[in-house]
Amino acid sequence: MCGIVGYIGSQQAVPLLTEGLTRLEHRGYDSAGLAVLGTTGLKVAKRAGRVRDLSEALPKRFAGKVGVGHTRWATHGPANDVNAHPHTDAKGLVAVVHNGIIDNAAALRQRLSDEGVELASDTDSEVVAHLVARSEADTLEGKVSDALSAVEGTYGLAVLHVDFPDRLVVARNGSPLIVGVGEREMYVASDLAAIVRHTTTVAHLDDGEIATVTASGFTTYRLDLTRTARDATTLDIDPAEYDAGEHESFMRKEMHEQPHAAERVLRGRLDERFGTAHLGGLNMDARETRAIRRVKILGCGSAYYVGQMGAALLEELARIPADAEAASEFRYRNPIIEPDTLYVAVSQSGETIDTLLAVQEVRRKGGRVIGLVNVVGSAIARECDGGIYLHAGPEVAVASTKALTNMFLGFALLALQLGRVRDLSIADGRRLIAGLQRLPEQIEQVLAQEDQLAELAGRLAGAESLFFVGRVRGFPVAREGAQKFKEISYRHAEAYQTSELKHGPLALISPEVPTVAIVPDDELAERNVAALHEIAARRGPLVVLTHEGVDLGGLPDGAAERVVVPRNERELDPILLVVPLQLLAYHAALALGHDIDKPRNLAKSVTVE
Ligand code: AGP
């Protein structure tokens, strides 16, 4: 949520910063801004709208070789030009870009205005610019340290000051901040995506760290300005992974990357000999694994829904009671943390603040948490006692696809390992391994049905309101399908248990309200089909995601469109039913002409509560 990029070196900063902001835009796209230090001092340009609007509106001679940029997702105050970052002090000496939330902003704003400072914006972030400007420290890092000693909350921030044109100072507490090392030039960013084309040699700041960055290097400190030892490391990353390539959107690229991403999360983790999985990163031996009596999964949005799929896998394969809960609600009900419960935090970004706070709540009470996380070294990954990296590669589209698929596979691996130290037989273990090995190719087969799904999506896009229904294993699939659909098509898509329709929502079924039904070939198929008849009898249009051979029981002609997905093992079928729902959502949004990668009101990583 919000993106930061900064540059200091011998090149003109503006093109580099603008490019960096464009690559960060998925993190927030309400407004954008730049500040540069040039020969005539500090210049700031900012405005509501997209980065391209900002670029088109930059004043002439807006130049400098030191600068910072920001792309915003509004928290405090509406998305307008004044609330956009960078924020400055009254004299225009200091410019600050900030990600995160300053919890005591109201008190600091009051204190500053009591001292005669006129605040220009509605934001929490502006206070930092005034606090830095008012500090009497004689170094910029000293001024930033002074300012931050008054601040409570989370931040990743970057500061420019006209009196210190040879440096920028950055700080981190709860919002990621990296320093990138170039050839006699340096970068800072909240996300590697912003700078990966220029350098892959980076240092990740820790919470509570400040860094002074000059064109020739960087120095890190704790908040009290005692030095810390932090080296940059060169990451083995292909910058092309951060481009959409020939695809018209990142979401489409990421959906089509799923077969390869799935291979990566499974690679080296399957043990056919013993019919189990090897997850060294859990940091638990067989005895500790056996001692687990319950599993509680914590995630938000799609990560929560895939957590429900994971809970079903754990119960079926390992016979351990498991459930998933929205991490955003968890800590507010003063949860009971039990020593023999394994807590599992699931997150693509590893930054989602609700999930991070839930992890901290568990750990504060002495519980053990493992993470299923995509972004290596992210806050949640670092906070957990162990975990499984998802290896999905960078995910840029706001709507999560390949990371979600790999989360499901991560849960399958976990369930296999936990199951095999309990009652799951070696034969069943091998059966599931064979199923997992078939999945990448089967995902490919589903993706090959894109034309059929696009045609169906075009029709669904015309409906103002839709149902997505499923039962037991199929219900979280329906929830994820509805989530994806509403997220990018802006249509009202409601997920329901198929069995619950007749207890109320059936009243809404009509020719104008289509239902997408999940009907796998499992023990509930007959009951699911009975519900389809109830919908068809009320002339509700139906799209049925099912397997070859499922008898839809003679639904009237034209009552239902059937989408057939390949069959795997029953426990693993849910993920093959999720993929067509991604394509449905994608093509509905495309038909409606929406910005697929940057849906309205949303942002990729939700770092505010
Ligand atoms: C997914 O399509 C959504 N954009 C959203 O629900 C997301 O899954 C959620 O915010 C959690 O994000 P995380 O996986 O990065 O923690």
CA 325 / ligand 1 centre spacing (Å) = 14
Minimum CA distance residue for ligand 1 atom 11: 300
Minimum CA distance residue for ligand 1 atom 10: 301
Q: pLDDT by residue (tens digit) across 406-444?
A: 999 999 999 999 999 999 999 999 999 999 999 999 999
For residue 398, the ligand 1 atom closest to its alpha carbon is 4
Smallest CA-to-CA distance from 170 within 185, 157, 182 is with 157
For residue 301, the ligand 1 atom closest to its alpha carbon is 6
> Tokens in use for 422?
């309990």
For residue 400, the ligand 1 atom closest to its alpha carbon is 2
Catalytic residue flag (residue 300):
no
CA 605 / ligand 1 centre spacing (Å) = 7
Minimum CA distance residue for ligand 1 atom 9: 301
Exposure of 518 by Cβ count < 10 A (0-12 exposed, 13-18 middle, 19+ buried)?
Answer: buried
CA 141 / ligand 1 centre spacing (Å) = 35
CA 489 / ligand 1 centre spacing (Å) = 16
Q: Which residue is associated with the tokens 């981190």?
A: 172
Distances (CA, A) of 405 to 164, 322, 388, 398, 412: 48, 20, 14, 15, 11
Q: In the structure, what pLDDT confidence band is assigned to residue 17 with cuts at 50, 70 and 90? A: very high
Q: Is the pLDDT of residue 16 over 70?
A: yes
CA 301 / ligand 1 centre spacing (Å) = 5
Minimum CA distance residue for ligand 1 atom 5: 301
Task: Quote the mean pLDDT of the chain.
Answer: 95
Q: What percent of the chain has pLDDT over 90?
A: 88
CA 348 / ligand 1 centre spacing (Å) = 7
Q: pLDDT by residue (tens digit) across 465-514?
A: 999 999 999 999 999 999 999 999 999 999 999 999 999 999 999 999 99
CA 79 / ligand 1 centre spacing (Å) = 22
pLDDT score for 1: 67
Catalytic residue flag (residue 60):
no
The mean pLDDT value for 19-35 works out to: 90
* Residues contacting ligand 1 via CB (< 6 Å): 300-303, 347-349, 352, 355, 398-400, 487, 605-606
**Mutation test of ligand 1: which of 606, 607, 609 has the most ligand atoms closer than 8 Å to its C-beta?**
606
**Mutation test of ligand 1: which of 250, 255, 302, 308 has the most ligand atoms closer than 8 Å to its C-beta?**
302
Q: Name the pTM for this structure.
A: 0.90
Given the residues 46, 253, 484, 604, the one annotated as active site: 604
Q: pLDDT by residue (tens digit) across 266-325?
A: 999 999 999 999 999 999 998 999 999 999 999 999 999 999 999 999 999 999 999 999
Smallest CA-to-CA distance from 179 within 188, 171, 170, 169 is with 188
Q: What percent of the chain has pLDDT over 70?
A: 100
**Mutation test of ligand 1: which of 26, 348, 408, 579 has the most ligand atoms closer than 8 Å to its C-beta?**
348
Q: Is the pLDDT of residue 381 over 80?
A: yes
**Mutation test of ligand 1: which of 250, 251, 254, 300 has the most ligand atoms closer than 8 Å to its C-beta?**
300
Q: Is the pLDDT of residue 349 over 90?
A: yes
For residue 484, the ligand 1 atom closest to its alpha carbon is 2
- Pairwise CA distance, residues 261 & 356, whole Å: 25
DSSP characters for 380-420? HHHHSSEEEE-------SSS--HHHHHHHHHHHHHHHHHHH
Nearest-5° Cα angle at 330, 326 to 331: 150
b/e sequence 557-582, b meaning 16+ C-beta within 10 Å:
eebbbebbbbbbbebbbbbbbbbbbb
CA 193 / ligand 1 centre spacing (Å) = 18
Q: pLDDT by residue (tens digit) across 174-231?
A: 888 999 999 999 999 999 999 999 999 999 999 999 999 999 999 999 999 999 999 9
For residue 604, the ligand 1 atom closest to its alpha carbon is 4
pLDDT score for 40: 87
The mean pLDDT value for 332-353 works out to: 95
CA 452 / ligand 1 centre spacing (Å) = 27
- Cis bond before residue 165 (omega within 30° of 0): no
Q: Out of 47-51, 77-81, 580-584, pick the least confident.
A: 77-81
Q: Is the pLDDT of residue 251 over 90?
A: yes
Q: Is the pLDDT of residue 609 over 90?
A: no
pLDDT score for 601: 86
Minimum CA distance residue for ligand 1 atom 16: 347
b/e sequence 143-158, b meaning 16+ C-beta within 10 Å:
bbbbbbeebebbbbbb
For residue 380, the ligand 1 atom closest to its alpha carbon is 16
Angle, nearest 10°, between helix axes 402-420 and 573-591? Answer: 170
